[in-house]
Chain A
Amino acid sequence: MNKPKLKTVFFGKTKHFVPNNLNVWYVFGALLLGALAMQYLSGLWLAFYYAPSPDKAFASIQYIMHQVHYGWLIRTIHTTCASAIFILLYLHLLRGLLYRSYRSPRQLVWYFGVLLFWLLMLESFFGILLPWGQTSYWGATVVSNVVTALPHGASLLTLLRGDYQISGVTLTRFYALHIVALPILLIFLIQWHIRALHQVGSGNPGLSPIETRSLDGSCPKQCIPFFPEQALKDLLALIIFFILFAAVLFFKPDGFGFLKDKLNNIPANPMQTPETIRPLWYLASFYSILRAIPNKLYGVLLLSTSVLMWLLLPLLDRLSKHKTQKLHQILVWSWFVCWLTLTYLGLQPITSGWVCALGGIIGLYFFLFILTGLL
């Protein structure tokens, strides 16, 4: 019997090959791995000093920022990297749309990816409460209240919060979910996402199927070995990413208010909602959709649709046979412009002026998305 080798335990038995025409859009998966690793490490270091109780949470963040050696660096890495992950995630998703990464036989890779997208949003939602500032408190209040649109909503909300309002119980609960439950789930799903990818091999921007699996270990046609060819390309991208990341980290740590909200420098006050409450930029498009509909149930349903719609792409792709790559890419970019507009509007205060226009943009947003899947 063969003894297990360390190398095959880590990297599997087969050598991986990738199509030789992969462009720069194909590096974001690797960058996400790097960013998630950075988030994991900085998060672990924050957990050494953070105290998850309503009396101490806010003060412990101040302690990390001002007393702990390089605490300001570790915390700013964590807050900046959260946004960086979503930038990379949206680019990774955009690559998926542009080059139809959801197409058969890669549906399973796609479904795992969508699940990861949801879990990362949830992970960021739980994390936002932890600094216990005004944005933290009221953001968590509003988002957790979304479940009250469901049947038995009030009991569900109490079950989620563990109290009748957001309280210390909620804080420790969210902390446990943020640092234990979701990271473990994420690690498993990332593994499965990559393993499912390795079973079918990468797609490519040329869209003609390239067989990347090798039976005898020799390099298949139109392919290059993943290591070191693509791995070095990913490494170069990672270095460039880290340079850009460091530039934001050291020169604009609050990212013009997009990465860190000034309002969160005020401790949570359950008796006062801030005058203007702004979602994080990467959740702002969802926020726009939620508040555009003057009806709670329909607003929440439409919000759920915008989250669930990603699952439809493999099915939509099979429905129609008429595909033109050029038209498809124009549709993807138009959809992206809609997404950007929704994100921008989600960050603006409520004024009744653009409510009608918002309805149109949301309609266009869903319409273009379905058309993108079909054409």
Chain B
Amino acid sequence: MNHSDEEDQVDWQKRKLLKAGACMLGGIGILAAMYPFLKSLEPTDQQLAEHGSVTVDISHLHENEQITVAWQAKPVWVMRRSQADLHALTAANPDLLDPNSLQNQQPHFAQNPYRSLRPEILVLVGLCTHLGCIPNYATLRHSGAQFASDNSAQQNFAGFLCPCHGSRYDLAGRVFKNMPAPLNLVVPPYHFLDEHTLVIGQ
């Protein structure tokens, strides 16, 4: 083989440029190609459209009765609270984490002690803000280490208890302090068409 010295010479400058160019363009290409793949993991527009509104007839809802309806595949509770329950909600409770609903977990109209449009009608998304289990209606007792700051100890009251990790909420879906759940339960957007018709989702 007859190579001249010049032919054997490797132009390192040129190779460096080639390498840098290839890496850069390849990198941009990979990033661009990732986008459609990541985007495809998101819910489709149709899935979003299926999440419209639900109409609920509440004429048969008695006092202290709770019904569950599906909205966006989530359980939504509708409950008619008694006057005694409402009275208890307005009393200041030092054991609540966010008693005045300052965190953005409800529409503007529900930022009141009852966390509802009409005081007696409670509408809540029934998913624990900890890890998403459905809490159950329960009679809770103020006692033990978790309610140390409570001065009316041993007083029974109604609320919601999550079966998975033990988070407790009051009858307005407000979470108690020192619970795994960090936020109050979500109030969905809703309005009333008339006296007995509730529309959830708008």
Cross-interface CB contact of A355 among B68, B74, B145, cutoff 8 Å: B145
CB-CB under 8 A for A141 and B42, given A276-B163, A296-B181, A350-B166: no
Give the contacts of B83-106 with A (CB-CB under 8 A).
Answer: none
CB <8 Å contact, A271 and B130: no
CB <8 Å contact, A291 and B165: yes
CB <8 Å contact, A296 and B180: yes
At the interface, yes or no: A274 with Cβ under 8 Å from chain B? yes
Cβ distance B113 to chain A, nearest Cβ, rounded Å: 24
The interface residues of chain B lying within 8 Å CB-to-CB of A163 are 43, 47, 73
The bracket for how many chain A residues form the interface is 35 or more
CB <8 Å contact, B133 and A169: no
Give the contacts of B26-79 with A (CB-CB under 8 A).
Answer: 38, 41-43, 47, 51, 68, 70, 72-75
CB <8 Å contact, B43 and A277: no
Q: Which chain A residue has the least Cβ–Cβ distance from B177?
A: A294
The interface residues of chain B lying within 8 Å CB-to-CB of A162 are 41-43
The interface residues of chain A lying within 8 Å CB-to-CB of B68 are 271
Assembly CA distance A138 to B133 (angstroms): 7
CB <8 Å contact, B180 and A273: no
Assembly CA distance A145 to B127 (angstroms): 11
Q: Mark A197-239, 1 if CB is under 8 A from B, else 0.
A: 0000000000000000000000000000000000000000000
Q: Which chain A residue has the least Cβ–Cβ distance from B135?
A: A273
Cross-interface CB contact of B180 among A160, A165, A293, cutoff 8 Å: A293
The interface residues of chain A lying within 8 Å CB-to-CB of B144 are 352
Cross-interface CB contact of A145 among B42, B75, B131, B136, cutoff 8 Å: B131
CB <8 Å contact, A164 and B134: no
CB <8 Å contact, A291 and B163: no
At the interface, yes or no: B117 with Cβ under 8 Å from chain A? no
Cβ distance B57 to chain A, nearest Cβ, rounded Å: 18
At the interface, yes or no: B82 with Cβ under 8 Å from chain A? no
Assembly CA distance A293 to B165 (angstroms): 10
Q: Mark A264-275, 1 if CB is under 8 A from B, else 0.
A: 000000111111
CB <8 Å contact, A356 and B165: no
Assembly CA distance A294 to B74 (angstroms): 25
Assembly CA distance A290 to B165 (angstroms): 9
CB <8 Å contact, A271 and B134: yes
The bracket for how many chain B residues form the interface is 20 to 34
Q: Which chain A residue has the least Cβ–Cβ distance from B132?
A: A145
CB-CB under 8 A for A270 and B73, given A164-B51, A276-B163: yes
CB <8 Å contact, A352 and B182: no
At the interface, yes or no: B139 with Cβ under 8 Å from chain A? no
CB <8 Å contact, B73 and A273: no
Q: Which chain A residue has the least Cβ–Cβ distance from B146?
A: A352
Assembly CA distance A322 to B136 (angstroms): 54
> What is the interface of chain B mostly: helix, strand, loop, or mixed?
loop
Inter-chain contact total with CB atoms closer than 8 Å:
94
The interface residues of chain B lying within 8 Å CB-to-CB of A355 are 145
Assembly CA distance A143 to B131 (angstroms): 7
CB <8 Å contact, B180 and A295: yes
Q: Mark A292-312, 1 if CB is under 8 A from B, else 0.
A: 011111010000000000000
At the interface, yes or no: A158 with Cβ under 8 Å from chain B? yes
At the interface, yes or no: B149 with Cβ under 8 Å from chain A? no
At the interface, yes or no: A240 with Cβ under 8 Å from chain B? no
At the interface, yes or no: B179 with Cβ under 8 Å from chain A? yes
Assembly CA distance A175 to B38 (angstroms): 18
The interface residues of chain A lying within 8 Å CB-to-CB of B179 are 294
The interface residues of chain A lying within 8 Å CB-to-CB of B146 are 294, 352
Give the contacts of A136-181 with B (CB-CB under 8 A).
Answer: 138, 141-143, 145-146, 148, 158-160, 162-165, 167, 169, 173
CB <8 Å contact, A277 and B163: yes
Assembly CA distance A164 to B16 (angstroms): 48
Cross-interface CB contact of B70 among A271, A277, A295, A350, cutoff 8 Å: A271
CB <8 Å contact, A273 and B42: no
Assembly CA distance A261 to B133 (angstroms): 18
At the interface, yes or no: B164 with Cβ under 8 Å from chain A? yes
The interface residues of chain B lying within 8 Å CB-to-CB of A138 are 133, 164
Q: Which chain B residue has the least Cβ–Cβ distance from A293?
A: B180
Q: Which chain B residue has the least Cβ–Cβ distance from A294?
A: B178
CB-CB under 8 A for A158 and B42, given A142-B164, A273-B164: yes
Name, among B68, B73, B144, B178, the residue most crowded by chain A CB atoms within 10 Å (CB to CB): B73
CB <8 Å contact, A352 and B145: yes
Assembly CA distance A160 to B131 (angstroms): 15
CB <8 Å contact, B42 and A159: yes
Cross-interface CB contact of A169 among B43, B162, B165, B181, cutoff 8 Å: B43
Assembly CA distance A162 to B47 (angstroms): 10
Name, among B70, B73, B132, B146, the residue most crowded by chain A CB atoms within 10 Å (CB to CB): B132
CB <8 Å contact, A165 and B166: no
CB <8 Å contact, B145 and A356: yes
6 closest Cβ pairs, A-B complex: A145-B131, A273-B134, A350-B166, A145-B132, A165-B73, A142-B131
Q: A158-B43, A165-B72 are in contact. List 12 more A-B contacts (CB 8 A).
A: A138-B133, A141-B131, A141-B132, A142-B133, A162-B42, A162-B43, A270-B73, A271-B134, A277-B133, A277-B163, A291-B164, A296-B131
Can you report 11 A-B residue pairs in the complex whose CB atoms are below 8 A from each other? A141-B131, A145-B131, A162-B43, A167-B73, A273-B133, A273-B162, A276-B163, A290-B165, A296-B130, A296-B131, A356-B145
